Every structure is written in C-alpha cells, then in structure tokens.
Amino acid sequence: MKYWPILWGNLKRRKARTFFTLLSIVVAFILFAYLAAVKVAFRAGVDVAGADRLFTTQKTAIILPLPKRYQEEIARVPGVAAVTHMSWFGGIYQNPNKGFQGVMQSPVDPEDYLAMYPELLLPAEQKAAWLADREAAIVGRKTADRYGWQVGDRIPVQASIYRKKDGSALWEFNLVGIYDGAEKGTDTTQFLFRYDYFDEARQYGRGIVGWYVVRIDDPSQAAEVGKRIDTLFENSSNETKTVTEKALAQSFADQIGDIGAIITWVLAAVFFTMLLVAGNTMAQSVRERTNELGVLKSLGFPDRGVLGLVLAESCLLAILGGGLGLVLGALATGAGDPTGGFLPIFYFPTNDVILGIVFVLLLGFVAGTLPAVSAMRLKIVDALRRG
Amino acid sequence: MASVSNWFSQVSAVTTTAVRTIPQRRGSSLATIAGIAGVVAVFVAVLSIGEGFRKTLRAAGSPDNAMVLRAGSDSEMMSVMLGDSIEIIAQAPGVARGAVETQGPDAPFSSAELFVIVDQPKRTTGGAANVPLRGVSPGAFATRPELKMIAGRKFEFGKSEVIVGEGARKQFSGLELGTTQKWGVNEWTVVGIFSAGGALWESEIWTDARVLQPAFQRGNSFQTVIAKLESPAAFDTFNDALTTDPRLDVQVMRESDYFANQGRTLNGIIRGLGLVISVLMGIGAIFGALNTMYNAVASRTREIATLRALGFGAGAVVVSVLAEAVLLALVGGAIGAVGAWIFFDGFRTSTLNWDSFSQVTFAFDVTAPLMIQGAVLALALGLVGGLLPAIRAARLPVTAALREA
C-alpha cells in the first residue's frame, strides 16, 4: 500500500469532481437496486412459484367460482398429492383509499393451506390458536407492520362482496398469528381466515370457492395431471383450467404487459447512461494528467506500475461509490416499495446484488482501462511535451 | 440608472463570451445536454403513461350520469343488485327520459348492467388476459352517446351477439368482426366494432345483460345501474330518492367520480415509481451538470480573471456561468421533451387495471403541461448545477487565476 498517498492525492486534486463523480455512482447503484426490485415486482412472483403446485380455476375467467365439492374429486385424480382452496374476499380495512390495497385476503382451510405453502412460517402455538378459534385470522409480516397490528388485535374488515347472514358487511377477526416468509420473495402480505366460519356466516354463495391449489407428486407430470383434472369437469357447467403456479404468475406478469417492461427498460437505460457519464468523467480526469504520468515514468515507474496505478484509482472510486450505492439501495428497497403497498412483492434479489457487484467492478475496469493502457504506452517525451 | 444599464451590458458581454466558447468544451457540454435530455425524456414518458390512463378513465365518466352500486361495494365487479330493485331505480326522480330501442318513446335513460371478465389471448404475448365483458340494457346507448359503431351493427337484444370496442379488438386476438367465441355456456358472435371517443368502453365487449345472466349463472341479478340524469344538478334529488328508499340498499356516485377512483392502484404504482426514478435521475443529472460547469469555469479561469481585472463585476460573472448552465439545460430539456413526445405520444398498450381486475387499453398521452413540467425540471437542474460553479468563478482570486496555466 505504499502507493496509497499517490492514489489519494490524485483523487483529492479536484475534490469537487471526485465527490460528484462518487455521488453519481452512488445514485446509479441505488437506481440499480430499484430496477432489480421493480423487475421482480412486475414479474409477480414468477421466480418463486412452486414447481409442484398447480392452480385450477374456472375456465372462462378466474373470477368465476367453483363448487367446493370439486375438492374431493380433484384429490382422487392420480398424481395429485394434496388439494386446498382459496377465495377472493376483497374486503376493505379502514377506508377505501388506504385499506388493504394490494393485500390478498382469503378464507382457507388452515391445516391444508399451511401444508400447501410450507414457505409460510407460522409459530406452532399461533397455528394451534388459529385452529382453536373459528373467528381467528393470521397475517403476513409485511401487512402486520404496515398497519401496526399485533397478535391479539381484533381486526374489522368491511366486506365489499360477502355480507353476513344478518345483512351486516362488517366482519371482525381475531388476529392470532403473524407469519414470516421462508424466502425473500415469499409474499408476506396475505390476510388469511377460516373458510368454515366464512362459509357458514355468509349470506349467499355457500359451498363455492374461488380456485383450487393442487400439489402434485411429480413436477414433470404437471401437464398430464392438469389435463386429467380438466377432463374430469369437461362439459359440466363449471369447466376448469389447470395451469402451473409459474404459468399463472407469468400470465399476470403478461397482463401487466408493456407497462412493466417499459418501466424496467427505462430504468435500465438510465442506469447505463449514468455509468457511461461517470465512466467518462473518470477517464477524463486521467487524460488530463497525461504529463504527470510522463513524469512518473521518467522517474523510473515501470509501464505496468502506471497501468496499475490508474486502474487502482478508477476501481477505488467505483468500489466506494458502487458499494455505498448498493448498500443504500438495499436499505431503500428493503424499507418498502415506493408506491405505498401497491406492489406486494418488492425486494432486491440476491442474484441481482451479485450482478450489481459485477457492474461495480466492470465500471472500475472499463473506465480505467482505456486511459490506463494509453498511459502505459505513453512515450515519456510525448507526455512531457503535452503539458 | 447608468449603473444598472452598465451592469446589464457587462452581463451580456460576459455571457456572450461564455456561450460563444461552449464549442471549445464540446464533450462535456454535450454530456450535460444529453444527461438532462435523458432525465426530462424519462420524466415526461413515465408520467405520460399515467396521463393517458387517467384520460381514458376520465372520458368514461360523464358528470350527468349516475352510477348505482350496492352499498359498501367500491367497484362494479364486487357489486350485486337484484332484479326487482332495477325498476325502482329507473323510475326514480331526476332520470332523463326519451325514446329507447325496444322500450318505447318515453323510457328512462337507464341501464342495468353486468360486468364480468373473459379470458382472451393478448396479441403481444399470446397469454390469456382478463378482457371485460359488459352486459347492458337497452338504455345503455342513451346513457353513453359517445359510443359509435365503426363496423358491422349493434347486437340484437335477446341474441347471443356481442359488439367489441376498437381498443379491445386491436389488443386481443379472436375479437374480429364475424368471429365466434365460447364464454360461459354460450357461443357468442362478434357482430360489430365500436369506438367511444377514447373512453374506457373501447376496452370492453358489450352484449345484452339478459343473455349474459344465464350464461354466467347470475339468475336475475345485475351489478350496477347507470342512469342519465336530466342535468348534473339533478344528482342530489336522485341520490336522496334512492338512499332513503327502504326497499333499496344502494349507494349512488357520479360516474365521473367513480371512474376517477378506478385507476388508483395503477396510478399509485406509476406515480410512486415515476417519483423515485425522476428524483434519482435528477440527482444524477445535477452531478453531471455540476461537473460540466466546474470544468467550464476551470477552463475559463484565465479569461474570467482577465475580465475581473478589467473591472467586470462578480455579479456579471455569476450570471454568465448560470446562463451557460441554464442554456445547456434548456436545450437538453427541449430535446428530451420533444423526444418523449415523438417516441411515446399515442403509443397504444393495454394493462391490467387492478381496481376492476380487467384489461384497459389506452394510449400514452404526452400533454403540453407535461412537456412544460419537463422544461421547468430542466431549468431547475441547470440552475442548481450552475450555482456552485458560478460562485466559485466569482470568488476566483484575480492575481492567482491570471497566473494559472
């Protein structure tokens, strides 16, 4: 590290420029973190979809219900390991503008549901409490944090579809558990309550569910098993369409369509432009010092030494700025999505953190290489003359 | 007075020199222009998505139309209304009347509607998309006079026929005139294509609600009633009559208010992301501008010092540096705003409107106010980026600067 003073001195010679270049690299990498998180958000869970899970929905449209009795029939289909169901509740918490935006609320069978989604981590005693109380509900960590809920709270939810038998639209649930996600991408926004209670208390629509989630024995048989299920209900008044969880998530991503793609592309374009500008500034600051490099060489610095010095300088700047940017970006995206809960899955994936580090190093090398190579090839006489 | 005019002539002399020498600093000046153009282009383009989306929803909401939903339902999709309440609503005071197809010469302008979605493949991806299918009553065409058939004919009431909005026809496959689709238990034939002045309806498929009910197992229920009022002022009369009627359990909204509310999820996403992108890019562009202007000041050190030695004031120097920054920023801003307009204005796409869980087709709308906002943003970036270097220029010690190489 005996060259440290030279490196440091070079960075300090135009403090303002070094500082602004550093900050623009920081900003670029914060943007990169958002880019990664937005990309994940618009892919709507495609990357974390379980390979062994299928979704059986009504064939005409996903909003149309299916009879509850289908559950037993699906369970008997060869290749099916387990079946559970979900339904769209669509309630409002507090007021329509704030309440439950982006929060999936569903009545479920607690045991079956938790067995179907092992990535939902619920403490055993909370699970027992859920099974013991018909009016009990559990919620994901993200939603609990968003509304400041704690276990033991009574949560009033205004139904917009299902009324209770007495005509009231107000459903109240006892919050007995808060689940965490086993992975970064696990959706921890869901609000889940008991189907048995819901079905008995609702005014109409008894005996129907929204859709089925099916676990299969062998993911490679997904297409065949799906076909078997759909054949079962062919020509009934409720024909079904069975697809993998991944395909369903992909179809939602496709439905969002160009908007997601455009925003992702814009972010990517911005990120690379910022890198280009920062890289250009870094390269320029070396070009301006051509005659100094000449002096170094005339003092006996070897070509490689000069190359290393210039590269080290640009890498140092890139690593300082990029590292800080990635850390800040991870903190910012971790603090929540910038839309106030509209995007339930929003995080900075580990793969993209690694990609970010690669970009940091690339920035350092590419911005440094061109001026470094020309510095290395420099003839002392030319360099000194250029003063 | 003389000193003021003297000051102005100083400013204009120094500024002219600064601007004339921009070509000598071509590289970094171009980088600044490009950076700011990029920020403004992205800012304008992202906001034009929201603008176009809102415009489509806004065009759907007419202020003299009232929308009746079940109390507590915040969207059509979630509302349920039974058949016997429909007639009470249609006969309520305040509803306009006139000739309606199949209903006679003095029928209420009201339409009981069903709103469902059907899976149709999106042209761009081939994947299934939630296309809205609206079942309407004969009064529907009187409540939405903006609806015009552009090909084929209207569907016949009582038949399994549909008409398709121009937007839906373009974005989804299988909806061309004459094609047949199976939705629910029926086969439906496309007999016409309609436009609706860019309103939301263009994203939809329309048919007779009475035919749609059995096909989707809806019995004699509807989801909403749309009524054309005698005037926008008749809303209160209509609203009071319905909400005080003990036979009904409904809420009444102006159609314009309802649709203004329908895009809030997508608007929230675009606004939230647009803000983050714009702020981060803006900060990045300011750093770029700062670097350029510091460079500009550094390369003009001698010149500035000479001017100061000749008696030019510090204020004139500050103004000249700021003027250069602002000029670069405005050029960049103009390029960005015009570029966004060329590339994005009118770009048609469709997306999932989470509030109605169905596809909405719309066009990006780069409006004049948006472009002006972009220019203002550029101006602000230029001023902020120029200020510190300007102060540095004014503070240069004359003797030291003259000596500098």
- pLDDT for the residue B238: 95
- pLDDT for the residue B254: 93
Calculate how close chain A gets to B70, using CA atoms only, in Å: 9
DSSP letters along B13-77, please?
A: HHHHHHHHTGGGGHHHHHHHHHHHHHHHHHHHHHHHHHHHHHHHHHHH--TTEEEEEETT--SGG
Chain A partners within 8 Å of B273 (Cβ)? 38, 263, 338-339
Domains in chain A: boundaries: 4-44+257-385, 48-256
Amino acid at B352: L
Q: For residue A194, is pLDDT > 80?
A: yes
Asked if B118's CB is within 8 angstroms of A266's CB, the reply is no
Rounded CA-CA distance A303/A299 in Å is 12
What is the distance in angstroms between the CA of the first residue and the CA of the last residue of chain A?
A: 29
Residue written as token pair 């979704």: A55
Q: For residue A387, is pLDDT > 70?
A: no
Give the DSSP H/E element, type plus range, for residue A240: strand A240-244
Calculate how close chain A gets to B151, using CA atoms only, in Å: 26
Closest in A20, A256, A270 to B277, CB measured: A270
Asked if B74's CB is within 8 angstroms of A96's CB, the reply is yes
Read off the pLDDT of residues A214-242 as tens digits, 9 standing for 90 and up.
999 999 999 999 999 999 999 888 899 99
- pLDDT for the residue A1: 60
Q: Tell me, yes or no, if A306 comes closer than 8 A to chain B by beta carbon.
A: no
- pLDDT for the residue A232: 93
- pLDDT for the residue B236: 94
Higher pLDDT, A172 or A337: A172
CA closest to A28 among chain B residues: B284
- pLDDT for the residue A227: 94
Chain B partners within 8 Å of A251 (Cβ)? 127-129
Read off the pLDDT of residues B12-39 as tens digits, 9 standing for 90 and up.
888 888 888 888 777 778 878 888 898 8
Characterise A204 by phi-psi region: left (phi > 0), alpha (psi -120 to 50), beta (else): beta
- pLDDT for the residue A104: 86
Q: Tell me, yes or no, if A37 comes closer than 8 A to chain B by beta carbon.
A: no
Chain A partners within 8 Å of B288 (Cβ)? 24, 277
Chain B partners within 8 Å of A255 (Cβ)? 122, 127, 129-130, 351-352, 359
- The pLDDT confidence band at residue A98, using thresholds 50, 70 and 90, is low
Amino acid at B113: E
∠ at Cα B312 (B306, B317), nearest 5°?
85
Residue B182, phi then psi, degrees to nearest 5: -100, 115
- The pLDDT confidence band at residue A100, using thresholds 50, 70 and 90, is low
Q: For residue A372, is pLDDT > 80?
A: no
User: Taking all residues of chain A, what is their mean pLDDT, rounded to a whole number?
Assistant: 87
Asked if A251's CB is within 8 angstroms of B127's CB, the reply is yes
Span A34-62, average pLDDT: 84
Interface A:B, Cβ pairs < 8 A: 165
pLDDT by 10-residue block (mean), chain B, 405 residues: 77 83 79 85 88 88 91 83 90 92 90 92 86 94 94 95 95 94 90 93 95 88 94 94 92 90 82 84 83 80 84 86 90 94 91 84 92 93 89 83 69
Amino acid at A254: D
Characterise B151 by phi-psi region: left (phi > 0), alpha (psi -120 to 50), beta (else): beta
Read off the pLDDT of residues A113-170 as tens digits, 9 standing for 90 and up.
999 999 999 999 999 999 999 999 999 998 898 889 999 999 999 888 888 998 888 9
- pLDDT for the residue B172: 93
pTM: 0.82
Q: How many CB atoms lie within 10 A of CB A291?
A: 16
ipTM rounded to 2 decimals:
0.79
- pLDDT for the residue A158: 87
Which of A44-48, A260-264, A297-301, B289-293 is predicted with the least confidence, judged by mean pLDDT?
A44-48
Rounded CA-CA distance A329/B374 in Å is 26
Read off the pLDDT of residues A76-85 as tens digits, 9 standing for 90 and up.
999 999 999 9
- pLDDT for the residue B147: 94
- The pLDDT confidence band at residue A99, using thresholds 50, 70 and 90, is low
